[in-house]
Chain A
Amino acid sequence: DAGVIQSPRHEVTEMGQEVTLRCKPISGHNSLFWYRQTMMRGLELLIYFNNNVPIDDSGMPEDRFSAKMPNASFSTLKIQPSEPRDSAVYFCASRPSSRGRGYTFGSGTRLTVV
């Protein structure tokens, strides 16, 4: 089991550029979550999917953010255009369908927008 795989690990981009973060969940897990972590706001849930369908995107900060899950083994979080205040660590997590198992988190993508 390779765990939840995120790429890239680090991303530095200029303000106004498009950024795409990628996530491969654990095989067999049917729910996927995108989180953002900053010192100021802590850990924030942005969006989550159940069986590839977005269930709750109320945490997505604004229209510049979008997330897709075209199949059970891949998800993307896109920011277009990026802004310095988007600088954070973005985590992806996945979870199996059975209750009480908790989430498995990826190692995160550290995004810096300059």
Chain B
Amino acid sequence: GNSVTQMEGPVTLSEEAFLTINCTYTATGYPSLFWYVQYPGEGLQLLLKATKADDKGSNKGFEATYRKETTSFHLEKGSVQVSDSAVYFCALEKGAGGGSNYKLTFGKGTLLTVNP
């Protein structure tokens, strides 16, 4: 079946440090890939996405590139801020047959804490 594996946290960084959160997936075909962010006390928000191989999703300084050859979608940011402290979830979307019964499979989440 489909699965997503992301690096376990927690990850603790100082402000302006470089961030990488690794994410690899298992799925047949060409799933769509997503990163979601959950700030304390809130629901998950879509951060960025990529729907085909070699696509780069980007938002708020975060980037991730869909690598089919390594089945990866690592999240990166060049300079993190305290306000980036949150839980980050990698996810894939894969359909079942030709209909619209497709759903997201989430990783377990990575807690990021950025200290001033």
Contact = CB atoms under 8 A, between A and B. Distances in A.
A113 interface: no
Main secondary structure of the interface of B (DSSP, over half): strand
B103 A100 contact: no
Nearest to B35: A102
A103 B46 contact: yes
Contact of A48 (B44, B45, B49, B103): B103
Given A42-B109, A43-B109, A103 B104 contact: yes
Interface residues of B, number: 22
Main secondary structure of the interface of A (DSSP, over half): strand
Given A42-B108, A42-B109, A100-B49, A31 B100 contact: yes
Interface size class of A (residues with CB under 8 A): 20 to 34
A1 to B, nearest CB: 14
